[in-house]
């Protein structure tokens, strides 16, 4: 077996590729669009915007979400903002600048053509969202306001208080609801995708579990769009929502979709630290806080004084010290690692010593409490509710946490995976952020894929592919459904002694300790061995009460954990094979004298794309070479 990893990048100059491609792509005429059905899995920014846009064009859309309403997808939790190259503040921004910052921010491990297109459509997204009534922050003159975010020296981030993701998602959702009312979208809530159905090698449908009745359902279509988000919850503790999981993507991988760069995970620097082993998730504090907050630790080890008692010259504002030009706005991977270094040196603060301060004292002195409350009031309230500390009076305590996964299913320029007809959008794909994502770029990518890329490329696929008639009575559907049934009854039949969450937590420890912020060969091998054993134990000792014919929350959890156990191993393997450091992937063996990531461009300027070969054989690592024609590969520096 081998993958065809042709990225299908259009020829011609970078800035003309997308235009040229749009011209050359085949189109489905307006009257014929109603003859096609498209499945969209997930209703976050990518899925919601794609479903609405495809339905507006005239396609029949079947949309699925795991929550009780499409409005609850995890895009909703994004706080800080969305980037666009509008250059409204006149600070010299441009499409090329946004493209360059994103490529550099990703540590030169993303695809030039995709990233350029992302920057190109970024401006349309803002226009589109404003036209739908998204209440972005405004200046007194009525114009849109911007702020700055990590990894950039311009202010290109649009925001709606600390709830930008929510407002954008509700915009996309409202577009969906409009098309639901018109009958062009059929919405299915509380459904979880259990398998992808292939007919003649093409993605033609899905099997889902109705989470309320427990029944399996079959749906057929002409193309499938997977918009199921990232897999950060493989770490158990992350900033992801509890229902966020990898299963939809993982089942596609097992059906033949390549999984690219699974080890590229983003650890976000500003989260509320872990406080107990009962903890179920970690809460992010928006990166926008670093616009005004200063990050520091005491200079002295085991300094037990209150932060207010530590004088100025005994504080180490380490980001400002190490990266004078970017300061507190250094990119996420860099900032996270620096926090870890300080805590490893014994300079951490708080009861667990696994935290650093994020201090607003100087900003409040400079701009006044009211101005700071205007910018971050809701975030401060949220912090106080969780920790019982008031950040207006005492610095926040923060620590890095798993937040986003840059890796995902491999896609070409058309966002199609290695399976014809299976297109992958948003965080679920791998294409745009390389080894590290810049802040406020996830919302941009989800909406770019859903509003302005997939609606055209899906048309091209449908117009140029012979699609035989398929119904849910076909054997492919029966076989896929039976395989899911078999796995479910296997899980239910074990009746062991440990809960699925026990296994998930144990997996999380391996992942965080050995496949987290800092990785090395010995640790990764240990993780692989440990996870394999854990997987065996899971299949012998998990206990799931109840049966299938019911809203069985424990069964849902166990089924997801079974997939996380397999994915965790692949992530460790991918990290082991990538003998370099880049972006969020920090291999201790490959670092510069001052502890920065040391890339190996000669051997690793590629995306690693994994091919599934069966339960008992090792996956195969393929490569898509990344060609840089417009950007010179340089050592990333934020000093």
Partner 1 sequence: MASTKNMTLNLKIWRQKDSKAEGKLVDYRVENVSPDMSFLEMIDVLNQQLVKKGESPIAFDHDCREGICGMCSMMIDGKAHGGFKNTTTCQVHMRLYKDGDTIVVEPWRAKAFPVVKDLAVDRSALDKVMAAGGYVSANTGNAPDANSILIPKPIADEAMDAAACIGCGACVASCPNGSGMLFMGAKISQLALLPQGAVESPKRALDMVQTHDLLGFGNCTNHAECEATCPKGISIEHIARMNRNYLKAAFTYHEKKRSEGGG
Q: How far is the CB of 235 from partner 1 (least distance, A)?
A: 15
Q: How far is the CB of 281 from partner 1 (least distance, A)?
A: 5
The three-class DSSP label of residue 103 is helix
Q: For residue 356, what are the CA distances in angstroms to 58, 273, 453?
A: 52, 9, 41
Q: Which is nearer to partner 1, 324 or 545 (CB)?
A: 545
Q: Which residues contact 510 (CB under 8 A, 6 or more apart)?
A: 527, 530, 531, 534, 568, 572
Instruction: Kindly state the DSSP code that residue 193 receives in the 8-state scheme.
Output: E
Q: How far is the CB of 138 from partner 1 (least distance, A)?
A: 4
Q: How far is the CB of 502 from partner 1 (least distance, A)?
A: 8
Q: Which is nearer to partner 1, 281 or 485 (CB)?
A: 281
Enter the tokens of residue 336: 């996270």
Closest CA to 156 of 81, 254, 232: 81
CB 49 within 8 A of CB 451: yes
Q: Which is nearer to partner 1, 61 or 435 (CB)?
A: 61
d(CA 355, CA 270): 10
Partner residues linked to 38 by β-bridges: 61, 223
What is the CA angle 116-604-9, rounded to 5? 30
d(CA 554, CA 560): 10
CB 126 within 8 A of CB 68: no
Closest CA to 397 of 339, 320, 439: 339
Q: How far is the CB of 225 from partner 1 (least distance, A)?
A: 15
d(CA 260, CA 594): 30
Q: At what angle do helices 95-105 and 112-131 cross, to 10 degrees?
A: 120
Strands (E) located in 257-345: 259-260, 265-271, 294-298, 315-316
Q: Which is nearer to partner 1, 104 or 161 (CB)?
A: 161
d(CA 536, CA 513): 21
Q: Which residues contact 507 (CB under 8 A, 6 or more apart)?
A: 234, 236, 531, 534, 561, 564, 565, 568
User: Active site residue: 161, 332, 375, 599, which one?
Assistant: 332
First to last CA, the chain: 46
Whether 332 is a known active-site residue: answer yes
Alpha-carbon dihedral of residues 157, 162, 163, 164, nearest 10 degrees? 0
Q: Which is nearer to partner 1, 129 or 220 (CB)?
A: 129
User: Residue with structure tokens 């921004």?
Assistant: 93
Q: How far is the CB of 168 from partner 1 (least distance, A)?
A: 11
Q: Which is nearer to partner 1, 118 or 220 (CB)?
A: 118
Q: Which is nearer to partner 1, 52 or 402 (CB)?
A: 52
Enter the tokens of residue 560: 């997801």
Q: How far is the CB of 520 from partner 1 (least distance, A)?
A: 32
Q: How far is the CB of 389 from partner 1 (least distance, A)?
A: 12
Q: Which is nearer to partner 1, 79 or 266 (CB)?
A: 79
Enter the tokens of residue 254: 């097992």
Q: Which is nearer to partner 1, 261 or 288 (CB)?
A: 288
User: Residue with structure tokens 């074990």?
Assistant: 494
Q: In a 10 Å sphere around its CB, with 0-12 CB exposed, 13-18 middle and 19+ buried, how is residue 545 labelled?
A: exposed
The three-class DSSP label of residue 138 is strand
Q: At what angle do helices 475-494 and 553-577 cross, to 10 degrees?
A: 100
Enter the tokens of residue 624: 């898509």
Q: Which is nearer to partner 1, 68 or 588 (CB)?
A: 68
d(CA 5, CA 16): 23
For residue 188, what is the enclosing H or E element? strand 185-188
Q: How far is the CB of 177 from partner 1 (least distance, A)?
A: 4
Q: How far is the CB of 434 from partner 1 (least distance, A)?
A: 27
Catalytic sites, residue numbers: 332
């Amino acid at each position: 077996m081998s993958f065809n990893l042709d990225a299908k990048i259009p020829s011609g100059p970078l800035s003309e590729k997308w235009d040229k491609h749009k011209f050359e792509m085949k189109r489905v005429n307006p009257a014929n669009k109603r003859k096609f059905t498209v499945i969209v899995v997930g209703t976050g920014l990518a899925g919601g915007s794609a479903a609405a846009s495809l339905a507006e064009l005239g396609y029949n859309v079947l949309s699925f979400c795991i929550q009780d309403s499409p409005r609850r997808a995890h895009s909703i939790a994004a706080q800080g903002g969305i980037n666009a190259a509008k250059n409204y503040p006149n600070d010299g921004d441009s499409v090329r600048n946004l493209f360059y910052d994103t490529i550099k921010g990703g540590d030169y491990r993303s695809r030039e053509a995709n990233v350029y297109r992302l920057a190109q459509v970024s401006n349309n997204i803002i226009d589109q969202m404003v036209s739908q009534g998204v209440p972005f922050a405004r200046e007194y003159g009525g114009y849109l306001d911007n702020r700055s975010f990590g990894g950039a020296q311009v202010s290109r981030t649009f925001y709606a208080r600390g709830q930008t993701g929510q407002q954008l998602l509700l915009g996309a959702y409202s577009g969906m609801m409009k098309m639901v009312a018109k009958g062009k979208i059929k919405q299915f809530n509380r459904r979880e995708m259990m398998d992808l159905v292939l007919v003649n090698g093409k993605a033609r449908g899905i099997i889902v579990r109705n989470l309320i009745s427990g029944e399996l359902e079959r749906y057929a279509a002409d193309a499938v769009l997977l918009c199921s988000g990232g897999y950060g919850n493989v770490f158990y503790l992350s900033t992801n929502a509890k229902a966020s999981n990898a299963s939809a993507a993982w089942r596609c991988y097992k059906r033949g979709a390549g999984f690219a760069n699974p080890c590229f995970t983003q650890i976000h620097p500003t989260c509320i630290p872990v406080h107990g082993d009962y903890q179920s998730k970690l809460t992010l504090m928006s990166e926008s806080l670093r616009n005004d907050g200063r990050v520091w630790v005491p200079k002295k080890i085991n300094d037990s004084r209150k932060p207010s008692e530590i004088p100025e010259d005994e504080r180490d504002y380490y980001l400002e010290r190490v990266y004078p030009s970017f300061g507190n706005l250094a990119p996420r991977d860099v900032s996270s690692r620096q926090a870890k270094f300080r805590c490893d040196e014994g300079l951490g603060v708080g009861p667990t010593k696994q935290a650093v301060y994020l201090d607003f004292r100087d900003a409040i002195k400079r701009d006044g409490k009211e101005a700071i409350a205007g910018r971050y009031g809701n975030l401060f309230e949220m912090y106080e509710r969780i920790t019982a500390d008031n950040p207006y009076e005492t610095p926040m305590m923060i620590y890095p946490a798993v937040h986003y996964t840059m890796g995902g299913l491999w896609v070409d320029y058309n966002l199609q995976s290695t399976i014809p007809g299976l297109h992958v959008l948003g965080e679920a794909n791998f294409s745009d952020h390389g080894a590290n994502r810049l802040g406020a770029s996830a919302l941009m990518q989800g909406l770019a894929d859903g509003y302005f890329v997939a609606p055209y490329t899906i048309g091209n696929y449908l117009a140029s592919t012979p699609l035989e008639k398929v119904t849910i009575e076909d054997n492919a559907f029966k076989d896929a459904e039976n395989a899911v049934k078999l796995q479910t009854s296997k899980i239910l039949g074990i009746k062991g002694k440990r809960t699925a969450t026990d296994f998930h937590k144990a997996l999380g420890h391996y992942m965080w300790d050995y496949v987290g912020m800092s990785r090395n060969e010995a640790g990764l091998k240990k993780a692989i061995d440990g996870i394999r054993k854990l997987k065996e134990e899971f299949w012998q000792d998990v206990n799931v009460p109840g049966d299938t014919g019911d809203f069985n929350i424990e069964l849902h959890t166990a089924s997801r954990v079974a997939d996380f156990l397999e994915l965790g191993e692949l992530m460790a393997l991918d990290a082991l094979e990538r003998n370099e450091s880049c972006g969020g992937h920090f291999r201790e063996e490959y670092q510069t004298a001052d502890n920065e990531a040391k890339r190996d461009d000669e051997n690793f300027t590629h995306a690693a794309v994994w091919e599934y070969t069966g339960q008992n054989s090792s996956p195969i690592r393929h490569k898509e070479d990344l060609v840089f024609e417009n950007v010179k590969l340089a050592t990333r520096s934020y000093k």
